[in-house]
Amino acid sequence: MVAMRKIKLVLTLVGRVINEAVSFIVFSVLDLVDFILCFVYKVADFFIEAEWKPCYCSSSKEAITGSGKILVSEQGESKIVCLSSTKLQLEEISDTLYTRPSLLSEVSKLSMKEIKKGTARSTFSVNSTIVEMLQGKIGGQNLHPIPRWSDCDCKFCTSWTSNCKETLFVKTDGPREYKGQEDVLFIHGFISSSAFWTETLFPNFSSAAKSSFRLFAIDLLGFGRSPKPTDSMYTLREHLEIIERSVLEPNKVKSFHIVAHSLGCILALALAVKHPSSIKSLTLLAPPYYPIPKGEQATQYVMRRVAPRRVWPVIAFGASIACWYEHISRTICLLICKNHRFVEFLTKLITRNRIRTFLLEGFFCHTHNAAWHTLHNIICGTAGKMEKYLDAVRDNLKCDVNLFHGKDDELIPVECSYNVQSKIPRARVKVIDKKDHITIVVGRQRAFARELENIWRNSSRC
């Protein structure tokens, strides 16, 4: 038995070393590829759209432009100051958008003086780029709201353009007429859609639940059939305000339950803190909460935890590509998202239409601009706020808090749910064996629907 443990320990250590070595090589190559793609896309944008498009790879010392927008960045906290004739508004953004360690940048930016001193800069910083991307937002100019040449232009992805009001796509179920029933808001995770709920849970809710609760499942800003404006920074404020404008206000929602998955958990907590007296219960699936060690920069620490730049496990590799490489991830969107109709057709053909493709629709129907900014500004950008949100839920809200996590989740580890419980002792954690980040719902939708109904009914009695 002891010998077997030693062998297992040695194999684990060897595997870790191999993973580290291969990862270093692979991501060094990807650094170079992304650097080259930067120039490729600038040329392509110029010839196709007749203007140079800003990205987060160039550098500039000036953060003030004639558009009246100023980037304020200090110690990892960044805000865009938008000035207009009537108001001053702060748009909070994550510094991870323009500050990401890169082996290539370290080498290219070393000066002879720095080499002699034995020091090196490990990050590249782009301030004015963010200001350039927002030019015209306050001034009334349109920055190609639909779509860019590298985005999909099918009816499904651009259906929002036929609606004069920029509101989210909302799928509803339950009573058609409001007669005092309770409301439930479902918020999906990163690169997903409302179908994550409507194709799994909604058909499995009991008739009693559907007569007692109004169910609202949204496509988040930039995903599914919701608006995908190219001039949006997809900040926390933008996400919250459009949820309020699309669901809470038009449906006169006064109190409600929230069910959220992954990235959606961050929005759920922020929404709960903003409307503390309205929340009946919080159900969070795989919440991405990483306590920040003392001395660490919150945004950069969370970026490394979510996207560790490792080739294994595969889901971590995918997250790293999406988070670290602006132009490689845009290329993936160009190849897959722009051609999602063909990919879906091919999937149905290969599987002989034996599987439902709603997960593929949610995964493919977004723009690179939406995914890139949402990932950085929500998951990384709120890292320093999560503790305050959880403290507020613990101290100012009396609602039930329930956490569900798949034991085999390789993207958001189980420890994240226990981290939330450590901040909110009344929170109940349920870890599901042999389930991961997706199968925590998909594949056990009937059982989970019953669990949710019990949560809502018990919360209503309080």
349-387 CB burial, b ≥16 within 10 A, e <16:
eeeeeeeebbbbbbbbbbbbbbbbbbbbbbbbbbbbbbe
Any idea which residue has 């060094």 for tokens?
Answer: 28
Biggest CA-to-CA distance, the chain: 75
Cβ(277)–Cβ(203) under 8 Å? no
| Distance, C-alpha 63 to centroid of its chain | 26
> Apex CA 440: angle with CA 291 and CA 411, to 5°?
40
CB half-sphere exposure, 444, CA atoms < 13 A: 17
Q: How many residues does the chain have?
A: 462
DSSP H or E segment with residue 185: strand 182-187
- In the residue annotation, 261 being an active-site residue is answered as no
Q: Which residues contact 421 (CB under 8 A, 6 or more apart)?
A: 403, 427, 428, 429
Cβ(359)–Cβ(188) under 8 Å? no
CA–CA separation, 316 vs 310, rounded Å? 6
Sign of CA dihedral 323, 327, 332, 334: positive
- Per the residue annotation, which of 102, 246, 437, 459 is the catalytic one? 437
CA–CA separation, 256 vs 272, rounded Å? 10
- In the residue annotation, 409 being an active-site residue is answered as yes
- Per the residue annotation, which of 78, 94, 188, 232 is the catalytic one? 188
12-23 CB burial, b ≥16 within 10 A, e <16:
eeeeeeeeeeeb
- Per the residue annotation, which of 262, 329, 417, 459 is the catalytic one? 262
Annotated catalytic residues are: 188, 262, 409, 437
